[in-house]
Amino acid sequence: MTGMDGVALPAGSSLSIFTAEERPDLWRRAAPLFSGIWPEYNMHGNRSGEYFGQLVPRYARFQLLLYDDDVDRIVGRGRAIPFRWDGSLADLPAGIDAVGLRAVSDDSAPTAVSALAAEVESDRQGQGLSRLIIQAMAAATRAAGLGPLVAPVRPSMKDRYPLIPIEAYSRWSRGDGLPFDPWMRVHARLGAAILRAEPRSMEITAPVADWERWTGMELPQPGDYVFPGGLAPLAVAEGVGRYWEPNVWMLHATAGQHAGS
């Protein structure tokens, strides 16, 4: 069993945690494994390739794999990126596109790390592996002498409430005070705090024909559409579908740093 400082792997577990820097061979094997867990439209961000495409080798020490030794299988992947941030809400980028683009274009020394994605193989979901991935991201952040770790969280049940503004949805909570949304709740149980909602986090603008293929819907006239897997409505006009994926920024204060106002 191979772990990282601060990551509590289950006793007797056959899981190991590696970075892409340590095991580039495993990282290459992981590339085709996780695309199916995302809605198809989510794979076509207008700007996401500019930063996801630079994660390895440039930021290999922040890219993580959960590997099950018993079955020689990669069961989880975490992707993160270091960026410059002064710790204030005013300087916090406007979502996942903005943080990724700042990271790859700013020559200043990074001070923090942003999670980008935590992915678990479909048949291993519900086993607490996503929690391990987040803990590994925090450990990699500490090991690099950076902090805090922040995450532009993609709420896992927001697609059931696409007409509710993300600002309102992010404030929903259960009777125990934890967030209503299950994925936000995983972060909160690890000590993360909500910083703010981002209604315009990742841009996906494409011809209507592409959107019809991705969603399996006909979009016969201009207007706003609710579609399968969408967290917000799709706006169709002049033959183009425009969508902004909303996220919720959450803060893991891995190095004792906190966001200001």
| pLDDT the model gives residue 12 | 75
Given this model, what pLDDT does residue 130 score?
A: 96
Sketch the domain layout of the chain as residue ranges. Answer: 15-204+247-252, 205-242
Largest CA distance in the chain: 58
pLDDT value, residue 259: 40
The CATH class that applies to domain 15-204+247-252 reads alpha beta
Q: How far apart are CA 139 and CA 159, in angstroms?
A: 31
pLDDT of residue 193: 98
**Phi, psi angle pair for 144, to nearest 5°:** -85, 0
Stretches where the chain sits below pLDDT 70 are 1-3, 6, 254-261
Predicted pLDDT of residue 256? 41
Cross-strand pairs, 112: 83
Report the pLDDT value the prediction gives residue 3, as an integer from 0 to 100.
Answer: 58
